[in-house]
Structure 1
Amino acid sequence: MRQPDIAITGLGLVTPAGHTAEANWATLCRGRSVADADPLLAGLPVDFSCRIADFDAEAQLGRLAQRLDPFTQFALVAARHAVVDAGLEARSWRGERVGVVLGVGSTSMSTYETLFSHLHAGNPERVSPLALPRSLPNMAAGEVALDLGAQGPNFTVSTACASGATAIGVARDLLRSGVCDIVLTGGAEGARTRISAACFARMQALSRRRDQPALASRPFDTARDGFVLGEGAAVLVLERLSGARARRAPVQALLRGYGASADAHHPISPHPEGRGVLQAIAAALEDGGCRPNDIGHINAHGTSTPRNDALEAAALRRVFGDRTPPVTAPKGVIGHSLGAAGAIEAAYTVLALRHQKVPPVANFQNQDTDHEIDIVAGEPRAVSADAALSFSFGFGGQNAVLLLTSP
């Protein structure tokens, strides 16, 4: 039985590159990192990040913002934008047929930092009664449902840095099964916290270029030395193509394939031969009925860490041979938003298909000669591409690959 085609009809983005899809695309195409010194991280070994600028939660959400942690604020604003972009009117839909599936990589570290400081100071009475409901990972999806009247299946998935992409794949399955008519899906993360920065620094996962933060994130470059913390959210509106056409919705792209796998190798290190990555790529291609030579460009996971980038490039060579499709890696511009990254980059892949351009990788100059791939650098590259892959990988050996095509 042929599975129904799944349409992407709306995008909402709140990232260090901007608060709208248009602003994100413009920043991405400039190919310059937005990393800068971060007062929140002052005094730590790594004291810079990619921040969301000019985000006034109270102006956007009113008093509601006071009960929400940043990751949920980002998700809620992105969801509202996505619904408008899809030409939908929240609460006028059949709410029981609208689902919400969001990816969140971790609980709200910023809230827990504050709570633990109160407890260590012997002041348990200062622990807010709202602390738990505002910081639970599922509240990103829960608050979106509350705000928009989405009464269908509602949950959060967590596969570390693959969470946003995994959520999109799961949302696709809800539509294929007929459980939902519309699913709001994506990811959200408030990764800029002192404890996150300290932990990742101790793991030697973060770039140490404190004197030149704008040059720190450099995916696939030979001088890469780690990633830069980011934050943000992306929400995509998914519908069956038949339903989208029936309501004359603006179909922006199709979600044709999804592949997921586990390395089953190590808690934080990817499999040295990229077996899980290769498995997820193959699954996405098979699911979408595509061959490697059908793919017009790749949105790489590209964290700017020495090991991840090398293994990812080697996997690309295994699948595509000497002539890989043009490769971009948005984390060079916006840093690594952890659980939100896969959703943000899926949205970027939709924009690339729409504009028929591949944005450049920030700070890229030279690559490892033993697994060279076609990195887009310097300026956007015009392409004629009907299909693209977006990669997301995470701790625990989590791998998720999305296959997106033009409508």
Structure 2
Amino acid sequence: MAGTSLLERLVSIYYDDPIRFPGLRAVTLAQWMLESGRGTSGLATAHYNLAGMKWRSEMAPYATKVLYLAHDGPDYYCKFATLENFIAGYWAFLNRSPYSGWEEHTDDPEDFIGFIGKTYSGSDAYAAKVLALLPEAEALLRAAAAAPADDAPAPAAADAALDLGTLVIDPGHGGTQPLPGSSPNNAISVSGVKEKKLTLDFAFSLKSALERQAHGAGETLRVVLTRSSDVNVAGRDRAQRAFTTGARAFLSLHFNGNANPTPSGVETYLRAQENGNINYAEDLAFAQAVQAGLLSGLRSVAPGTKDRGVKPDTQTQHSGGLAVLSDINLGNTTSGRRCVAALAEIEFITNPAVDARLVSGPDALENRTAVMESLATALRRYLHP
């Protein structure tokens, strides 16, 4: 695979998102496909705006304002920090006067898009274009719902120059209910974006970068996510994905937060020796590779990024050990297979400068892509035998 596309990411999140009108899921996806050229438009790739939504003050809880040069000239549009924010923002966008009464047209997708499309474009032709894409949208959603759990070990590579094995990426947090070893959310950015949404978005970006880089280098690399939508997964179950997939490495992505807005920088944690790490030296080398990759990427967009170093998990609030770094949970044994593991705190999203750089600013998506490209390079280099 050459990389996970923006549309694939959107479908992965949207297919089980608890929207108010599930019967409209496919037709709204079809509309977004039309508006964004199946996720390839500049507005979509740079600002996660797949519906061409112009800025309105009512959108402040979901988006920030960005000046964008569209085909009909420059104007202010909505910029979304994550695809989850875009989905929520789209439904909120309808609750404005031009679309008043749309909720009376929700029993049938054709009736809904006929009403919305006529209001949006002033023509019945728009709805016809959306409906022409409806079968494709339905097929994408069915495929996402039927996707395998991805727990089987990776098949042996046939003709690839180099097989790098399997890497598990764990987007921290998720959902609404606390589970053992995993809270729904911790940090919230200055602009109001939850850590759980950013970890998922960064994980998707990292997966895409890894797949694209490996494909270009003639390598095989299987990348598995512990979650691909807004659900919580217990810490033990996150780590066990490494065992069930036969992974060589496990990386959990998180963001720091602080009541004081000044702290910043990147840090990476590994299982402490005091917490029973049976492969400390290997974990340390992996954590150092993760830290170096992140630091290099972050400094490419902010040269003054602070290196907070590699640390044992005794220095976290869970001093007794992080569940996602547990050798038992990872399936590691003294005489058998071993999977290296680390947890990265990418930055402090409670720092205004960091928020502007990686979350809400006009170059945020470009910057985070650069950071994940750097991390992907470091991870591939580490996985080379």
TM-score (norm 1): 0.31
Q: Which has the higher contact order (CA 8 A, sep 6+)?
A: 1
Larger proportion of helix: 2
Larger radius of gyration: 2
